[in-house]
Amino acid sequence: MVVAGLLILSASRIGLMAWQWERVSATGIVGEILAQGVRADLILLGYLLVLPLLLAPLLAQRYSERTWKRFTVGWASVGLLFIIFMELSTPQFIMQYDFRPNRLFVEYLAYPKEVAATLWNGFRFAVIAGITGTALLSALLFRVFKSASDSSGMWSPKVVLLTWPLLVLLVGFQIRSTTDHRPANPSTFALTGDAMVNSLIINSPWAVIDAIASMRKEANSSEIYGKFPREKVFPVVTSAPWLRDYQFKNPELPTLHAQQAAIQRDRPLNLVIVLQESLGATFVQSLGGLPVTPELEKLKDEGWWFEQLYATGTRSVRGIEAVVAGYAPTPARSVVKLSLAQHNFYTLAQGLGKEGYHTEFVYGGEAHFDNMRSFFTGNGFQNVVDRGDMQPKFVGSWGASDEDLFDKSLQRLQQLHAQKKPFFSLIFTSSNHEPFEFPDGKIELHDPVKQTVNNAVKYADYALGKFIAEAKKQDYWKDTVFLIVADHDNRVYGNSLVPIKKFHIPGLILGADVQPKRITTLASQVDLGPTLLSMLGVSSTHPMFGRDFVKDSTTPGRAILQFDNYFTWLEKDSATILRPGQSPLVGRYDSATGELQLTDRKPSDAQVEQAMAHVIAPSLLYREQRYRLTK
């Protein structure tokens, strides 16, 4: 099993390195990557040896020879079946996420219907080839193992008992793989400044196993970056220039404060947030991307256009928690999925609901996906409208098309307006999601083959343009603020430890009396909530520690990014990167080129302090249930 495992994993790694040769060769440590890869593979295979090793004194005896041989053949076959499956799944995962399978691979397994539809409609050949390859290789190995087992003899009880302690020590060292204080872990193999190349050094089965183990330890998620005095966390967070005028009076709720709206209104305005699936700056020409969002380009001159807005993560739930709750990212799963955030966790819907707003969520798919229905209904959204409430003309793997979604949204907005009370509607699109299905004949294709991300983005943009054009004709337009913002980019990739460029997203606030303005200051998704409250004319108490750009749009800003297990504090052109089990790094980020150049110098104490405080604060607020309003 060990020999076969090493051969399979090494062959897979060599193939992946050849595929990504330009980035691998740029590191200048090809030999070390291969050698350390074997070391990582031995760790994985050591784990697979543990169970048969523990059972050996009892079963590796002549009286139980038949049972022992059946068990070892079956165990070895299943173990290598898992290895083969994961390695064959790796190329497609890297194409999407620029990383070996990790926690995202595990999280998506909770939604078999959506994932199965996506794989079948978008990656049919890869699925068939992967399953076929896994079955054939596993069957071949089973026959090899069975033949070897049938022809092998059994050790005497004395030999088994005498050699067993030595084997335990050898396998123990194989798994530990070091004489250092701590055993080797995936971060041990982060040898380069390219996160994707680092992931090639380890293997996919171990990456997934480690992700599962990490997910079980999420109660202390941010502590993976090292110790930081608790008493300094919230003073550092609340010392931001845009928070200095506020008073934080409740020690039980350390970020709770009263925000006075910078715009005073006789009647608060309505709010509509259009959360655009996977719409990164890479698809917006004026932000340095492709010319596939002409409607958004037209609209950007009608309102507040954010030129340096960054997403907090790489998945929709990260965008949701940041935009809707103003909540900063952590290495743990998003709070949208975590148990302690399913009730009494602050969101804009909860806060606006207390101000007399009707609040609802509109989605073209099934709202239970990513636990959205539970999170939203438990935290202030009074109504949820999803695929089951629509009669769409076109349905893809992820639900109704964006046109159908917006048609339903327009209907709902008209009904809400008729109720004569302010409303907040969150609209979440899905057409720009693999496998990129959308109706024929709607747009002039950007790519010759229809089912591509660029064409899907262009269709989603077309649907958005239609929606805004129709909303402008309605009576509620003059009383409603619209936010159009992405949840994250489509694919996060790049030859840097943290591909910051792929976190750059468009953001636009328009409607009502919003005047055209360019926001050139560095901004984060967590800043949108406080900014919107001021625009609505709503003065309220909340725990968000983002920035109100209505009050101050000139002070230098910052962005906070979570990429796998790396946390980044971005300010001006400096990026401080926290790594699990390792010292922080600092690099220079050029927003014009999107390049991150790591430096040899250490980040300053102030930079590390800001990064540590901002990654630990949300973990504490979640864990201790302090991200809420007073009861």
Q: 177: alpha, beta or left, given left = phi > 0 and alpha = psi -120 to 50? A: left
Q: Output the CA–CA distances (angstroms, integers) from residue 301 to 282, 467, 509, 516, 568, in the order listed.
A: 19, 17, 10, 6, 31
Residue among 303, 282, 279, 280 nearest 291 (CA) = 282
26/197 Cα distance (integer angstroms): 10
Q: Which run of H or of E encompasses 472?
A: helix 453-472
* pLDDT tens per residue across span 354-394: 999 999 999 999 888 888 988 898 899 999 999 989 999 99
Sign of CA dihedral 371, 218, 319, 322: positive
Distance between start and end Cα atoms, the chain? 58
Q: How buried is 338 (Cβ within 10 angstroms: 0-12 exposed, 13-18 middle, 19+ buried)? A: buried
**Residue 22 buriedness (CB in 10 A; 0-12 / 13-18 / 19+):** exposed
Helices H, strands E: what count in the chain?
19, 18
Q: Give the pLDDT confidence of 582-626 residue by residue, as tens digits.
A: 899 999 999 888 899 999 899 999 999 999 999 999 999 999 999
The C-alpha atoms of residue 319 and residue 452 are separated, in whole angstroms, by: 23
CB atoms within 10 A of CB 448: 7
Of the candidates 464, 509, 463, the residue with the CA atom closest to the CA atom of residue 482: 509
- pTM exceeds 0.75, yes or no: yes
Beta bridge partners of 483: 273, 509
Least reliable range by pLDDT among 220-234, 316-330, 390-404, 475-489: 220-234
Give start and end residues of each alpha helix (H) in 517-604: 528-536
pLDDT given for residue 93 in this prediction = 87
Helix (H) or strand (E) holding 128: helix 124-150
Please report, for the chain, the start and end positions of each structural domain, with discontinuous segments joined by +: 2-216, 231-623
Tokens matching residue 411: 């209907």
For position 103, what pLDDT does the model report?
73
Rg (CA), the chain: 27
Asked whether the predicted pLDDT for residue 181 surpasses 90, the reply is no
Confidence tier at 233 by pLDDT (50, 70, 90) = very high
Of 1.10.540.10, 3.40.50.300, 3.40.50.970, 3.40.720.10, the CATH number of 231-623 is 3.40.720.10
* Chain segment 468-485, per-residue pLDDT in tens: 999 999 999 999 999 999
Q: How distant is the alpha carbon of residue 546 from its chain centre?
A: 20
170 CB burial (10 A radius; 0-12, 13-18, 19+): middle
Q: What whole-number distance in Å separates Cα of residue 454 and Cα of residue 436?
A: 9
